[in-house]
């Protein structure tokens, strides 16, 4: 005769033991976190992002602890080796420290997978756009490649065909919940525009500025810095949009330069500094590019670095002719932990190189595919706007 009672009792004991083990594990995890959070944070915050994300599934106390904004802020302050998205391909600046984030098909994470493109990268979040050619059904997204979190941005107020510019504003300390700034044309090929703001808190668009006049600008890729959204200066109107007062302000040019004689080669932010590189009609054959830095009060620029192109001419003999024919591009300026670690990222003849602005050393980190296009041009709101294919990215655990 089979002793079913004994088996049943054994099964019950195993089940009870298993449940008790899980509960004990949760209690131990919670006790460990509560016992010395500072020490635990010091340890975990230095682990790879993939490990931190796995730890969130250990227990509820761990998930709450690792999702806390204080932990996220601490993690984001640590020095991490960034990289760039070249199109949808992630390229780490430190080629010996390959990031687990790298993937070649960015649109795999998006609904319907319709040719998703990056419009802007902002402190670990990406502003993306789908269905690039058809503005009627185009969708906009905010995406965190680290956590794979995705948010769909609802349609703007008015005709989506009139969108000229979209930019993302996000920073854990001064803009903890992201915002999207949109500039729309109010008349075809005219000079009247409107500003709208989307907030991730309200999940709605609102009209910030009913109308403003600008003379013949092309609104290019956005940059968020010091509480404001900037677009690359072009031709006559040099403006930026301050988030807190929701007003447009005038952006000065470096002293001595005329708007009609310059074009923007690069505008970007790094470690709290806004940088600008201009190509001037008066210095077409210049072998030196000035890297300007904006003063914190927005009152003007000063020369922070000089890129001496002579140092590259031996490896790239046609460099100076490339500058004026779209085969040379300043992709990024990256401030290092130490000043001597600051480098520029350049595209030269289909190759991406890093160039140390102090010791003038450089190294190749990537060769672009032969069919890679540096920029796409889109007709929107009566203007053609160049959208960059290069966007810096640094890991963040931010949730939204």
399: in domain = no
- For residue 262, the domain's CATH number is 2.120.10.30
> SS3 breakdown of the chain: % helix, strand, coil, rounded to 5?
25, 40, 40
Pair type for strands 83-86 and 89-92: antiparallel
146: in domain = yes
What is the separation of C-alpha 338 from the centre of its chain, rounded to a whole number of angstroms? 22
Task: Judge contact between 183 and 221, C-beta under 8 A.
Answer: no
Domain boundary among 26, 48, 75: 75
141 and 183 co-located in one domain: yes
107: in domain = yes
219 and 238 co-located in one domain: yes
52 and 96 co-located in one domain: no
Q: Which residues of 181-202 are buried (b: 16+ CB within 10 A; e: fewer)?
A: bbbbbbeeeeeebbbbbbeeee
379: in domain = yes
Total domain count, the chain: 2
148 and 265 co-located in one domain: yes
* Helical spans, DSSP H, in the chain: 4-35, 37-44, 49-55, 60-67, 69-77, 319-322
205 and 347 co-located in one domain: yes
* pLDDT, tens digit only, all 400 positions of the chain: 444 444 444 444 344 434 444 345 455 555 555 566 777 788 888 787 778 888 888 888 888 888 887 888 777 777 666 889 888 888 888 866 655 554 555 666 776 655 788 899 999 999 998 866 655 678 899 999 888 889 999 999 998 888 989 999 998 777 778 999 999 999 877 789 999 999 999 999 999 999 998 876 678 778 999 999 998 766 666 789 999 999 999 888 888 887 777 778 899 999 999 999 987 765 555 678 899 999 988 889 999 999 887 777 777 766 655 555 556 889 999 998 889 999 999 988 888 999 999 998 889 898 888 777 654 444 343 333 445 789 998 888 888 8
Token pair 């635990």 in the structure block, residue: 40
131: left (phi over 0), alpha (psi -120 to 50) or beta: left
9 and 125 co-located in one domain: no
108 and 255 co-located in one domain: yes
As a whole number of Å, the CA-based R_g of the chain is 25
Residue 147 CB partners (closer than 8 Å, separation 6+): 53, 397, 398, 399
398: in domain = no
CA distance 214 to 192: 7
- Please give the residue range of the domain that contains residue 33: 4-75
189 and 329 co-located in one domain: yes
Decide: helix, strand or coil at residue 281. helix
Domain boundary among 75, 98, 123: 75
CA distance 157 to 245: 21
Domain boundary among 57, 75, 93: 75
Residue 378: the pLDDT is 43
105 and 181 co-located in one domain: yes
Run of H or E residues at 208: strand 204-213
Q: How many CA atoms lie within 13 A of 308 on its CB side?
A: 10
351: in domain = yes
222 and 120 co-located in one domain: yes
43: in domain = yes
CA neighbor of 144 nearest in space, from 160, 127, 158: 127
243: in domain = yes
Decide: helix, strand or coil at residue 138. coil
23 and 138 co-located in one domain: no
CA distance 84 to 105: 14
Residue 9: the pLDDT is 40
| pTM, two decimal places | 0.82
DSSP 8-state secondary structure symbol assigned to residue 256: T
91 and 57 co-located in one domain: no
Residue 147: the pLDDT is 86
């Amino acid at each position: 005769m089979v002793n079913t009672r004994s088996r049943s009792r054994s099964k019950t004991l195993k089940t009870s033991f298993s449940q008790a083990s899980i509960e004990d594990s949760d209690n131990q995890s919670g006790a460990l976190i509560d016992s010395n959070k500072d020490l635990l944070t010091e340890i975990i915050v230095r682990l790879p992002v993939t490990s931190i994300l796995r730890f969130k599934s250990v227990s509820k106390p761990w998930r709450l602890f690792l999702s806390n904004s204080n932990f996220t802020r601490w993690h984001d302050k640590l020095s991490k080796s960034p990289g760039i998205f070249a199109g949808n391909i992630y390229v780490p600046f430190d080629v010996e420290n390959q990031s687990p984030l790298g993937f070649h098909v960015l649109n795999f994470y998006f609904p319907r997978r319709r040719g998703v493109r990056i419009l802007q990268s902002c402190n670990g979040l990406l502003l993306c756009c789908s269905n690039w050619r058809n503005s009627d059904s185009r969708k906009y997204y905010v995406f965190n490649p680290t956590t794979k979190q995705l948010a769909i941005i609802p349609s703007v107020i008015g005709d989506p065909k009139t969108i000229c510019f979209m930019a993302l504003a996000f920073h854990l300390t001064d803009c903890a919940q992201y915002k999207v700034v949109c500039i729309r044309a109010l008349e075809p090929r005219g000079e009247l525009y409107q500003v709208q703001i989307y907030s991730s808190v309200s999940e709605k668009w609102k009209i910030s500025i009913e109308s403003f006049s600008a003379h013949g600008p092309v609104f290019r890729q956005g940059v968020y810095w010091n509480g404001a959204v900037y677009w690359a200066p072009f031709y006559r109107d040099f403006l930026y949009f301050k988030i807190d007062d929701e007003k447009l302000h005038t952006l000065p040019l470096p002293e001595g330069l005329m708007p009609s004689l310059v074009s923007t080669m690069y505008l970007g932010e790094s470690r709290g500094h806004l940088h600008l590189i201009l190509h001037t009609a008066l210095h077409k054959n210049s072998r030196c590019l000035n890297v300007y830095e904006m003063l914190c009060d927005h009152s003007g620029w000063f020369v922070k670095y000089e890129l001496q192109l002579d140092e590259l001419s031996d490896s790239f003999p046609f460099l100076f002719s490339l500058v004026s024919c779209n085969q040379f591009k300043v992709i990024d300026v990256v401030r290092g932990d130490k000043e001597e670690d600051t480098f520029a990222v350049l595209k030269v003849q289909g190759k991406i190189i890093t160039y140390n602005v102090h010791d003038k050393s450089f190294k190749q980190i990537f060769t672009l595919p032969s069919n890679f296009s540096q920029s796409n041009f889109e007709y929107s709101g009566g203007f053609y706007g160049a959208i960059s294919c290069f966007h810096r990215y640094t890991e963040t655990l931010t949730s939204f």
